[in-house]
Structure 1
Amino acid sequence: MASVNFIYRSHKENAPLKVRLQDKDVNNDSYQFEANTKIHTSKEFWNGKLKKDKNGKLKDGRNLENYSVLPVRLLSYQKLSGTNLGSQLNEINEKTKNLENFILEKYEQDKPTKENKEWLKSIIKEYYTPKVEKRIYPTILVDFIDFYLQDMKAINELKESKRKRVNTTKNKIIRLQAELNKTYRITDIDDYFKADFVSFSTKYKYSQNTQSGDFQRIKTICKHASKKGLQVNDVIFETDFKITKAKSPKIYLTYEDIDAIKKAELKHDYLENARDWLLISIYTGQRISDFMRFKSDMINTDESGRKFLKFIQQKTGHEMYLPIRSELIDILNKRNGEFPRQISDQKYNDFIKEVCKVAKLNSICEGKKRICLETDKSKATKYDYRDVLGKFEKWELVSSHIGRRTFATLNYSKISTPNLMYFTGHTTEKEFLNYIVLPDKDKANRAYDSFANMDANKTKQRTLEVVRNDAVNQ
């Protein structure tokens, strides 16, 4: 019967143990395998020769629990787990026992020949660096999407908003498959799939921008599949394999709109609460996922008495320090320094529309409004709502993003673009400029005024320097 022993065979004071497996062949001849382990100990600890008397004391009279050196072979001393010595002994025993069990189990499975001297070394290597089983990914697209989400979660790149968007896209593919009675594999994502997807999306009145976002997610998922070794169609790597976005009209609140919102006579407390959140979003430029979490304990005062709002942006993970403007202080003072009550995203969107309607923001604007396609709303499902382009009264187009767009638009050219991008959390200027709702001519006029002010300041500075030099010469 095979047996495993651990041996200290180094001349050094501290070294790893060796392990030896011994057995006999059919002729009763002994043979053995030997290899190094990663179990480190000291020569004194392993080779100590101590004996205890019937009273549990060492022969030299010292109490066992006060003795700092003990040989591992005295396993009866494991009871000393409360002492440093007992702890060390238990640790060594646990490591050797676990490795012994692993070796014997593998020996029974592999049944290596006695000539295979490298067998034990390979087993020790496997013990300390276990093989990671290769994950088997499905090749059907909708099945792979679940694995994609798991992978993104494993590397902390799956926010709740992303998970919802991906699952929405997945559900559309499932509906498309059911309608066409076909199953799409990852290798099927090509121009024919694109045609099917566009036809389906158009039939059910999904906007071009919604189609573009869904299609981009599908491409991203397929690229992930390629990284995992699955076969994909090369077309997914082509830049023109996409659904082009349509330019979507956006609105923002003018200074006159903001003044009307402030002065609106609201009859309900929930509208007053929503109005203050809307104003907070205008003064801070933050996403609803961030500003709706604001609390008074996020306010910090520096050594100069300046107040800042300190928080972590949920989407980007950036640490933010927002200067607290006087308008924001006025809102906090209404509630003894506290922010308004938190409400859900859906209620916020509904309530600020009511606020803007009371404020009489009735000008006709082009934009997208979410409507129900089902005439009988009692039968409507989540698939029956669409953002439809048209001309509506301004209050109907107000949503949670309007505060952020208003902040970026009203402060464009007044605050430097890098500073504005810091406040909004945009990482590229292209993304940031999408939030600027001004026509190109207005943007150019603002840029012109900024350059004119810079030139005027330089001229003023040169004049002051000349006057100062003349005064010195006199």
Structure 2
Amino acid sequence: MAEELDKNYINNKLDDLQYQLNKKYNSLIEEQIIAVNNEVLIDFCDQFFKKTKGQTENSTIELLPFYDWFIRNYSVKPLMSSSKPLQKGTAKTYRNAYNILKRFNDTVYRVRYDKINYEFYNDYLNWLYQQGYSTNYVGTQIKILKTIMIASHELGHHNNTECRKKYFKKPTEEIDHIFLSIEELERIKKLDFSDFKTVKTESGVFITKDKMDRARDLFLISANTGLRVSDFNKLEKDNIITVEDKKYFQLTTKKNNKPITIPINSTVIEILDKWEGELPRKMPEQHINYALKEIGEKAGIDTMVKITRTNGGIIETKEYKKYQLITNHTGRRSFCTNTYLSGMAAIDIMAISGHSSERVFYNYIKANNLQRAMKISENKFFS
């Protein structure tokens, strides 16, 4: 008799599940809130059997489905925090982070809101390091996961606040990124590419004489303005204003939407004159990076540099020729460091570079201890 009662209970429960599952499926298809896949439906079934009074159907949007929805939704709609959509590059970073967490979910154990705790934090960190990721890349994964957890909490999908605790911190590591001195930048500026022979990179990109010339000039603009590649690579003639015979770049930065005005120095004036008042035509970021390695080698920027990084939890120190480390971002870092060493006030440099905090700004200052001491010694206190 007991078996018969259990059978009736189970069948009734399954009938109810089928009804609720069909209802949920039709609702998701109609509203197009999230992509309907096995993960979503499995989570719904789990929630159905664990559901308690007072829960709403919205609580069935578990962590991974919400993560996916968050990226797709806020790639086109304004975020609550910034009132603007995710930038294309940021959305790509979020998507990569989602895919990594999904891989952990599929190969280690399922990730749910109620699983995000101290044990998960350590498990996920260890797994990320085992994949060979650098400390700062691992930190990015934790930072984005915290963002997703907080957003889903604010929208009422869970009550887990573990990610706000002190232990749930983003691992960071200071990397000895390079900068180019005024003298090294001058060597790049004086390069002649008239005899340069086209080279083909390992990825199949052809670096021509024209690309070398444009990449050099774009990089020098960055090194003399502090602009990111996303900004210096889209400058146009309309961004130039003249006030009392002095020229300035006036633009709104792409990353943080800040309006900035930057004085144009003699090096950039020469570049503008060379291109008949126009800006060098923009190039794909990776093509600039490829060209910069060639440019640095041709300029003889080949001193040996030791770089220490933590990859997969293992500290590694490697030696590189300096030109091998030059990238688009080296220009911005060089600007911040060279202006700092010249005696320019940090607050004035930040007004140009667009940094919002001194902590982040000083990470860009790559002067060594002696260079810092020499700059400090010029203060009247030490006179």
- Shorter-chain TM range is 0.7 to 0.9
Q: What SS does structure 1 have at the residue aligned with 2:379? A: helix
In structure 2, what is the equivalent of residue 293 of structure 1? 234
Structure 1: gaps spanning 5 or more residues = 1-133, 372-387, 457-474
**Are 1:392 and 2:316 counterparts?**
no
Q: Name the CA shift for 1:205/1:389 in 2 (closer, same or farther; >3 Å).
A: farther
1:426 matches 2:355? yes
1:188 matched residue in structure 2 = 115
Select the residue among 253, 257, 261 that pairs with 1:313: 253
Equivalent of residue 297 in structure 2, options 357, 360, 363: 357
Task: Give the AA of the match of 1:290.
Answer: D
Aligned counterpart, 2:179:
252
Residues 202, 336 of structure 1: alpha-carbon distance in 2 compared, 3 angstrom cutoff? same
Aligned pair partner of 2:282 in 342, 360, 363? 342
Counterpart of 2:68 in structure 1 is 146
- Distance of 1:358 and 1:137 partners within structure 2: 60
Structure-2 change in CA distance of 1:393 and 1:321 (3 Å): same
Letter in 2 for 1:230: H
Residue 175 of structure 1 is matched in structure 2 by 103
- Asked if the contact 2:216–2:295 (Cα under 8 Å) also holds between the matched residues in 1, the reply is yes
Give, in whole Å, the separation in 2 of the partners of 1:451 and 1:432. 24
User: 2: CA distance between counterparts of 1:257 and 1:311?
Assistant: 28
Alignment match of 1:323 (pick from 257, 263, 275):
263
What SS is found at the alignment partner of 1:321? strand
The amino acid that maps onto 2:124 is F
Q: Which shows bigger deviation, 134-143 or 244-253?
A: 134-143
- Judged with a 3 Å threshold, the aligned counterparts in structure 2 of structure 1 residues 389 and 351 are, in CA distance, closer, same or farther, namely farther
For residue 220 of structure 2, the aligned residue among 261, 271, 279 is 279
Counterpart Cα distance in 2 of 1:317 and 1:227: 25
Give 1:368 shift.
7.3
- Which secondary structure does the structure 2 equivalent of 1:438 belong to? coil
Q: Residue 443 of structure 1: which of 372, 375, 379 is its match?
A: 372
* Partner AA of 1:277 in structure 2: L
Q: Which whole-Å deviations, capped at 9, do the CAs of 1:168-204 have from their partners, x for residues lacking one?
A: 1101011112222x32112211222222222222222
Paired with 1:263 and 1:308, the residues of 2 have a C-alpha distance of 24
Q: CA deviation at 1:295?
A: 1.1
Contact 2:231–2:253 (CA under 8 A) maintained in structure 1? yes
Partner of 1:129: none
Amino acid across the alignment from 2:90: K
Partner of 1:216: 143
How many angstroms does 1:326 deviate by?
1.1
Indicate conservation of the 8 Å contact 2:58/2:157, yes or no: no
Q: How far does the alpha carbon of each residue in 1:403-422 deviate from its partner, in whole angstroms, 9 at most, with x for none?
A: 00100001115211111001
Q: 1:314 to 1:368 in 2, by over 3 A?
A: farther
Q: 1:24-173, aligned counterparts within 5 Å? A: 136=58, 138-149=60-71, 150-151=73-74, 153-155=76-78, 156-173=84-101
Report the Cα offset of residue 352 of structure 1.
Answer: 1.0
User: What is the aligned partner in structure 2 of residue 28 from structure 1?
Assistant: none
Alignment check: 8 A CA contact 1:140 1:183 kept = no
Whether the 8 Å contact between 2:237 and 2:277 is mirrored in structure 1 is yes
Q: 1:337 to 1:135 in 2, by over 3 A?
A: farther
Q: How many residues align?
A: 304
Secondary structure, counterpart of 2:328 in structure 1: coil
Q: 1:368 and 1:358, CA in 2 relative to 1: closer, same or farther beyond 3 A?
A: farther
1:444 Cα deviation after fit: 3.5
Contact kept in structure 1, 2:153 and 2:160, CA below 8 Å: no
State, as a whole percentage, how many aligned pairs show the same letter: 26
User: Cα distance, 1:448 vs. partner?
Assistant: 2.9
CA contact (8 A) 1:222 1:232 kept: no
Amino acid at match of 2:240: I
Instruction: Return the alpha-carbon distance in structure 2 between the equivalents of residues 389 and 178 of structure 1.
Output: 33
In terms of mean alpha carbon deviation, does 146-155 or 184-193 score higher?
A: 146-155
Partner of 2:168: 241
The alpha-carbon distance between structure 1 residues 353 and 175, as it changes in their structure 2 partners (threshold 3 A), is same
Work out whether residues 138 and 144 of structure 1, in 8 Å CA contact, stay in contact via their aligned partners in 2.
Answer: no
TM-score, L = length of structure 2:
0.74
Assess, with a 3 A threshold, how the Cα gap between structure 1 residues 354 and 135 changes in structure 2: closer, same or farther: farther
> Partners of 2:57 and 2:370 in 1: how far apart?
55
Letter in 2 for 1:291: F
Q: Is the 1:265–1:358 contact (alpha carbons within 8 Å) kept by the matching residues of 2?
A: no
| Structure 1 SS opposite 2:262 | strand
C-alpha spacing 1:138/1:211, structure 2 compared with 1 (3 Å): farther
User: What amino acid does structure 1 have at the position aligned with 2:262?
Assistant: L
Distance in 1 separating the partners of 2:86 and 2:171: 26
- The one-letter code of the counterpart of 2:231 is D
Tell me whether 1:332 sits opposite 2:272 in the alignment: yes
The one-letter code matched in structure 2 to 1:449 is E
Q: Which letter does structure 2 place at the counterpart of 1:307?
A: K
- Residues 116-162 of structure 1: per-residue CA shift (max 9 Å, x gap): xxxxxxxxxxxxxxxxxx99365432211123232574321411121
Change in Cα spacing, 1:161 to 1:135, as seen in structure 2 (3 Å) is farther
Structure with higher RCO (Cα < 8 A, 6+ apart): 2
For normalisation by structure 1, the TM-score amounts to 0.60
- Give runs of ≥4 in structure 1 deviating > 6 Å: none
